């Protein structure tokens, strides 16, 4: 584990950040996702990778190669399987010497290993930023990352990482909201940073579940309207023309409350963009009240998704305070469109590999039987 959350601009005066949202896999990981992420690391060469929640999928004790049977028993077994699962996304960064950090999503908390116990797995890696090590008033994945000039002489930017999802094990239910304590911490820390550095640090804010304000970027519409997307309930929605652009692939799943976070962001005036994941098939950018709202699609191949699967890249320039660039890289951008790449995508991109195996086996059996009948007929 690194000694500090602080990151520097590279020698070219740039900071390249890669966001990986919802990798959401387990021990027997889908190779397509690993190959896609490896290709992204090697082509983009990020200075920092941020995992923005649902870094694992639910209960690892049910991760059998075939079916959904229980394959281990007890805390130690689950912890070890979680270590193996996270190694699929963390070891490639360790091997390349790329710093990384993370926040949790709703799926990370759906198991018997607490957030505090999980974070120690991340911290076993030397390229892991420490994250929140000492502030018990907020979650261990609520913290900030100051960005220094390439020579380390001056703080120029800041990155906010906020927890937005957790499970109450006693009540047996999950919550999707920004806690009041988190909002208080953001306000307090923002003022402390401004005092410490003598200026307001332009920043990006990352969280897993989108804030309620994101609803201001979409609207219900008619089937015939440009950009209309039909959802399972028969309704049509679209990104509001002129306010947002990108891909809307599913209904928005938002925090139930942000406890005033967005209003504080506007009042403080430091956040250039609020970036979220969680909605696997949504991938768009918009703006509300001068703050950019960015939605990043999932990287996972085990869970539902679309052709938006990929990673998002942010580029900061130390000579251009208050500005940033961002773009998405999808599977085809990174792995190509060869028959092999397409076959890998089709095979891995859902949770139905056992059914596909059964279908192939059944098809082969039918073909074998048919071949036998044809052979008999020919002999006659």
The answer to the question of residue 371 being in a domain is yes
Query: What does the mean pLDDT of the chain come to?
Result: 92
The answer to the question of residue 1 being in a domain is no
Per-residue pLDDT, 87: 97
Give the chain's residues under pLDDT 70: 66-67, 351-380
Q: Are residues 154 and 250 in the same domain?
A: yes
If one counts the domains in the chain, the total is: 2
Q: Are residues 324 and 361 in the same domain?
A: no
In tens, the pLDDT along 48-93 reads 999 999 999 877 777 877 667 788 888 998 899 999 999 999 999 9
Sheet holding 48-52, edge to edge: 100-103, 48-52, 14-20, 310-317, 325-330
> CA of 180: how far to CAs of 265, 272, 333, in Å?
14, 22, 40
Alpha-carbon gap, residue 5 to 141, rounded angstroms = 12
Query: What's 134's domain CATH number?
Result: 3.60.21.10
Q: Are residues 374 and 278 in the same domain?
A: no
Alpha-carbon gap, residue 82 to 78, rounded angstroms = 6
Q: Are residues 118 and 225 in the same domain?
A: yes
Q: Are residues 287 and 363 in the same domain?
A: no
Asked if residue 288 lies in contact with residue 217, where contact means CB atoms within 8 angstroms, the answer is yes
Alpha-carbon gap, residue 302 to 159, rounded angstroms = 29
Beta-carbon contacts of residue 76 (< 8 Å; ≥ 6 apart): none
Per-residue pLDDT, 374: 46
The answer to the question of residue 99 being in a domain is yes
Alpha-carbon gap, residue 289 to 51, rounded angstroms = 27
Expressed as residue numbers, the domain containing 372 is 352-380
Q: Are residues 13 and 49 in the same domain?
A: yes
Q: Are residues 281 and 327 in the same domain?
A: yes
Q: Are residues 218 and 269 in the same domain?
A: yes
Asked if residue 247 lies in contact with residue 284, where contact means CB atoms within 8 angstroms, the answer is yes
Q: Are residues 323 and 312 in the same domain?
A: yes
DSSP 280: T
The answer to the question of residue 2 being in a domain is no
Beta pairing, strands 218-220 & 325-330: unpaired
Q: Are residues 274 and 287 in the same domain?
A: yes
| Lookup: tokens for 275 | 């970036």
Q: Are residues 258 and 367 in the same domain?
A: no
Beta pairing, strands 203-206 & 271-276: parallel
Per-residue pLDDT, 163: 98
- Helix (H) / strand (E) containing 332: helix 331-335
Per-residue pLDDT, 371: 47
Q: Are residues 240 and 364 in the same domain?
A: no
Alpha-carbon gap, residue 305 to 23, rounded angstroms = 11
Neighbours of 98 (CB within 10 A): 17
Alpha-carbon gap, residue 247 to 238, rounded angstroms = 9
């Amino acid at each position: 584990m690194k000694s500090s959350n602080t990151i520097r601009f590279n020698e070219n005066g740039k900071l390249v950040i890669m966001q990986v949202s919802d990798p959401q896999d387990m021990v027997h990981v889908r190779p397509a996702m690993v190959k896609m992420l490896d290709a992204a690391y090697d082509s983009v060469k990020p200075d920092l990778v941020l995992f923005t929640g649902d870094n694992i999928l639910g209960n690892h004790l049910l991760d059998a190669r075939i079916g959904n049977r229980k394959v281990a028993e007890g805390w130690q077994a689950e912890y070890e399987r979680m270590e193996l699962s996270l190694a699929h996304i963390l070891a490639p960064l360790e091997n390349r010497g790329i710093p990384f950090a993370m926040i949790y999503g709703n799926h990370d908390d759906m198991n018997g290993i607490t957030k505090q116990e999980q974070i120690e797995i991340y911290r076993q890696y030397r390229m892991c930023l420490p994250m929140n090590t000492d502030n018990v008033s907020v979650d261990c994945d609520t913290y900030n990352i100051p960005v220094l000039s390439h020579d380390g002489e001056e703080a120029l930017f800041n990155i906010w990482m906020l927890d937005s999802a957790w499970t109450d094990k006693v009540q047996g239910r999950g919550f999707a909201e920004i806690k009041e304590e988190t909002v208080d911490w953001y306000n307090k820390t923002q003022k402390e940073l401004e005092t410490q550095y003598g200026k307001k640090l332009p920043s990006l804010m990352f969280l897993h579940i989108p804030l309620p304000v994101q609803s201001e970027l979409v609207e219900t519409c008619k089937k015939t309207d440009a950009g209309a997307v039909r959802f399972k309930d028969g309704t049509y929605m679209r990104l509001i023309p002129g306010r947002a652009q990108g891909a809307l692939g599913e209904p928005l799943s938002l925090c139930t409350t942000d406890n005033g976070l967005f209003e504080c962001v506007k009042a403080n005036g430091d956040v250039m963009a609020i970036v979220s994941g969680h909605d696997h098939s949504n991938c768009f950018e918009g703006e509300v009240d001068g703050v950019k709202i960015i939605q990043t699609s999932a990287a996972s191949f085990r869970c539902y998704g679309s052709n938006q699967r990929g990673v998002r890249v942010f580029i900061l320039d130390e000579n251009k305070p208050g500005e940033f660039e961002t773009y998405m890289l999808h599977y085809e951008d990174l792995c190509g469109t060869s028959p092999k790449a397409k076959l890998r995508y089709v095979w891995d991109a859902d949770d139905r590999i056992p059914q596909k195996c059964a279908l192939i086996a059944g098809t082969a059996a039918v073909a074998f039987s048919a071949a036998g009948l044809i052979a008999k007929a020919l002999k006659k």
